């Protein structure tokens, strides 16, 4: 399940999150948004607790849409410590998105660990 975030909860759930957050800006009328949803759920299950996935209804959260200068939907932003690390937009379908998500997953799997070894196994993305 994807956590739904609004302008009211965005700072706490995304900008102040202790783990990187993949923010999915979407809208109910967006067909591609519905098509990629299963891929995002798969990505979330592969990464477990290492990357948090949230959804933002772009129509209902106009200030966030303007703040992040959305040009198209869906737009995915990977935000870490309040900073945009990756921006995914304008992909043509599932294959484009799958490759981009795999690149993100690998970059977080291959990064140096700053955690104690007992917690590292819980925090790494699982390869499925």
Q: Spell out the alpha helix ranges (H) of 9-114.
A: 10, 31-47, 62-67, 94-109
Residue position matching structure tokens 């990756």: 86
Tokens of 23: 């923010």
User: Which residue among the candidates 30, 32, 39, 100 is catalytic per the annotation?
Assistant: 30
User: Which residue among the candidates 14, 22, 23, 33 is catalytic per the annotation?
Assistant: 33
Query: What is the three-class DSSP state of 85?
Result: strand
Tokens of 97: 């998105």
Tell me, yes or no, if 125 is annotated catalytic: no
Q: Is 81 left (phi over 0), alpha (psi -120 to 50) or beta?
A: left
Tokens of 83: 């900073």
Tell me, yes or no, if 30 is annotated catalytic: yes
Q: d(Cα 52, Cα 29) in Å, to the nearest integer?
A: 24
Question: Catalytic amino acids?
Answer: 30, 33
């Amino acid at each position: 399940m994807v956590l739904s975030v609004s302008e009211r909860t965005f700072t706490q759930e995304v900008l102040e999150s202790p783990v990187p957050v993949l923010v999915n800006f979407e809208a109910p009328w967006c067909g591609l948004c519905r098509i990629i949803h299963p891929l995002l759920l798969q990505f979330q299950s592969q990464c477990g607790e290492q990357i948090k996935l949230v959804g933002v209804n772009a129509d209902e959260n106009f200030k966030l849409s303007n703040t992040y200068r959305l040009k198209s939907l869906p737009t995915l932003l990977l935000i870490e410590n309040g900073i945009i690390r990756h921006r995914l937009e304008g992909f043509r379908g599932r294959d484009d998105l799958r490759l981009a998500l795999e690149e993100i997953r690998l970059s977080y799997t291959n990064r140096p660990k700053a955690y104690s070894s007992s917690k590292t196994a819980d925090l790494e993305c699982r390869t499925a």
